[in-house]
A and B are shown apart, each in its own frame.
Chain A
Amino acid sequence: MKYSKQATVAYAGALGKEECLEPLNDFIIREGYSEGDLGFVADDELIDMDCVEHIIASYEKRSPSKSMDSSFIADNDEVVFMEFRFNYQNLKNLDRQKLIDKVKGSTIALSNPTNLHKKYYFVFNSNLKQQAISRLNRMNPMIPQNYIAVDMKDVMDLFFSPETPSTHPSS
């Protein structure tokens, strides 16, 4: 299962939210990524889910709900959610209910799609990934197991590299 630019752009168009498309490289830098170039293709784009939520909230005259940072469409047509947590403070503030609300908010924003990928990805700097995995797994009450902590290297291996190595978190 890999990222599909064509399907992602088409999905944004179908939502009427083309303005929410943003190049992946720009997106992650805006979110605070600073671990160097992993070789993402320059014009691969993500859908900014905050942008989507703000447009909907504005239209519905309500405050924006919590949302995941981004989504894209994979080559099997599934919608994949990704939240970026590159700052140290983001590890500190890992709140179970907030994470669940973000997934819920973005799912509603996309009108409860039936093709939602079963795993939700939370992307950390590689020097915090293992600690994030530990925190997610040891939350009490437990957070569902489909909330997955990864780093950008995992994201590349999972969705953007030609072949999926066997060692990364399963997609």
Chain B
Amino acid sequence: MTKTPDINIVVDKFRAVEHADIAINGITVVAGENGSGKSSISKLLYFLYRTVAGYDNIVKSKLLYDLRDVAQLLDIMFQEYRTSETSDIKEGNRRYSLTLRKSLLESDHLEIEVYKWLEAINIVENYYKDSENNKINPIKQNRIYRILLDILKPKEHELNMTESFEALRIFVQEQFSLAQTNIRNRPTSIFIEELIELFSKEDLPQKFEVLEYGSPIVALDSEQLSIPYNIQNAIYIDSPIIFYGDGSNNEHWDDLLELMQKPSNENSNIANLINTEIIKGQVTADDSIYATEGYKFLRNDGQIFNLLDVATGIKSFSILQLLLKNGSINEKTLMIIDEPESHLHPQWIIEYARIVVLLNKHLGVKFFLATHNPDMVSAIRYISEKEGTLEKVNFYLAEQSDEKFKYNYKSLNTDIEPIFASFNIALERINQYGI
């Protein structure tokens, strides 16, 4: 009996992908022409696991977004509160909404957080009503009233102040209640919203399904997202240029940069191997306002460089080294890497492949690699065989379907010949020039 794959990704009719049924057991390598949909699958996979693994956080972020105007109103009112009280209390008030927001994102108990928000509304309502002491003058009162109405957008009748604050409390309670329901039920719609943000509504896959041990855990047409077991976090690397990418508006770059800035205190054999055998040095991430300027490359001869100034190949390995040292990579991690060979000398392509195989073998890290490079394909194939992990390696080739610009992903298991046949077309072309 054929062993059921740990993970199966099924994609139908999505951009250039006509059909793909891709297994991830350890290392999955996908090859194919430019424009055959490899990166589209990579992104789909990344944002899926980003959503399902960070589901609660996404719901909380959405909740915070929906409460953004309420938070701003609280900020305004605390600022407007003219008081005779001590500056310490004023400082406390200024931080009130910031603390609320931070606490919401970090909390696992929204049922507690909602009361903090309601309490804050009570406080500002009392400030507002405290006109006897003239804490807020009438002009400012009117402004706040207008803001309240803007948030609540009452349809049927104009609310008075008391009604407005009551309506605001109900609004906040409803938003929290919706978020709690979403966390409880894990509706697929949250993931679909993420995809629409990424790809646009017309561009969603006709079918997208993820199976774990043969059982569906995610399907666009099912109501709920299951909790994955095998993969708990995904990391997407598509270019070592990321170090220049602060403020790039690329969500996956922002995610990766944030991950790389986590403090490093893990002792990793493979990070050490990257240091001693490959890049001859190590990278550190300093605390810095400008994160990308905070990376230093400490070469083993004692020289220190800004990482932005070192060879791009060193940056490629630095990403892995940093993630290993700060414990971001473990047996539940899916590393999605687009063209890992980019910017690497052929010798380092082999070393990169070796690191991938060793991470899979020793840490159980899973990989989804999209590549155009024969040495990368060969090295993954033969180093895995040598390390005794070939049974967890799967190769795929995107082959053009009957329809132009559409591709089917053919499973090759461990046979890399068809990938080489496709690469060798280039050699035939070169030979035509008699070189």
Binding site for B on A (CB under 8 A): 126-131, 133-134, 137-138, 145
Contact = CB atoms under 8 A, between A and B. Distances in A.
Given A128-B417, A133-B427, A134-B423, 4 more contacts: A127-B417, A134-B374, A137-B424, A137-B430
A133 B420 contact: yes
Contacts of B424: 130, 133-134, 137
Interface string B383-423: 00000000000000000000000000000000111101101
B420 A130 contact: yes
B431 interface: yes
A145 B431 contact: yes
B378 interface: yes
B345 to A, nearest CB: 13
A134 B423 CA distance: 8
Nearest to A128: B417
B427 A134 contact: yes
29 contacts: A126-B417, A127-B415, A128-B417, A129-B417, A130-B417, A130-B418, A130-B420, A130-B421, A130-B424, A131-B374, A131-B378, A131-B416, A131-B417, A131-B420, A133-B420, A133-B424, A133-B427, A134-B374, A134-B420, A134-B423, A134-B424, A134-B427, A137-B424, A137-B427, A137-B430, A137-B431, A138-B374, A145-B431, A145-B434
A130 B395 CA distance: 15
Interface centre among A126, A127, A137 (most CB of B within 10 A): A137
Contacts of B415: 127
B354 to A, nearest CB: 16
A71 B106 CA distance: 76
Interface size band for B: 10 to 19
A155 to B, nearest CB: 17
Contacts of A131: 374, 378, 416-417, 420
Contacts of B378: 131
A127 B415 CA distance: 8
Contacts of B434: 145
Nearest to A149: B424
A98 to B, nearest CB: 20
Interface of B: 374, 378, 415-418, 420-421, 423-424, 427, 430-431, 434
Nearest to B430: A137
A124 to B, nearest CB: 10
Contacts of B418: 130
A129 B427 CA distance: 14
A77 to B, nearest CB: 27
Contacts of A134: 374, 420, 423-424, 427
B410 to A, nearest CB: 15
- By Cβ-Cβ distance, the 8 closest A-B pairs, closest first, are A130-B420, A137-B427, A130-B421, A130-B417, A131-B420, A133-B424, A134-B374, A134-B420
Contacts of B416: 131
A87 to B, nearest CB: 14
Contacts of A138: 374, 427
Contacts of B374: 131, 134, 138
A130 B374 CA distance: 11
Nearest to B415: A127
A133 B431 CA distance: 12
Contacts of A126: 417
Contacts of A128: 417
A128 B218 CA distance: 38
Nearest to B377: A131
A137 B421 CA distance: 13
A145 B434 CA distance: 8
A128 B431 CA distance: 20
A127 B421 CA distance: 11
Contacts of A129: 417
Contacts of B421: 130
A126 B420 CA distance: 12
A1 to B, nearest CB: 20
B317 to A, nearest CB: 23
Contacts of B431: 137, 145
A55 to B, nearest CB: 37
A149 B291 CA distance: 51
A17 to B, nearest CB: 35
Nearest to A136: B427
A91 to B, nearest CB: 9
A130 B378 CA distance: 11
Contacts of A130: 417-418, 420-421, 423-424
Nearest to A126: B417
A131 B415 CA distance: 11
Nearest to A145: B431
Nearest to B434: A145
A133 B374 CA distance: 11
B103 to A, nearest CB: 58
Contacts of A137: 424, 427, 430-431
A36 B423 CA distance: 27
A132 to B, nearest CB: 9
A133 B424 CA distance: 7
A127 B413 CA distance: 13
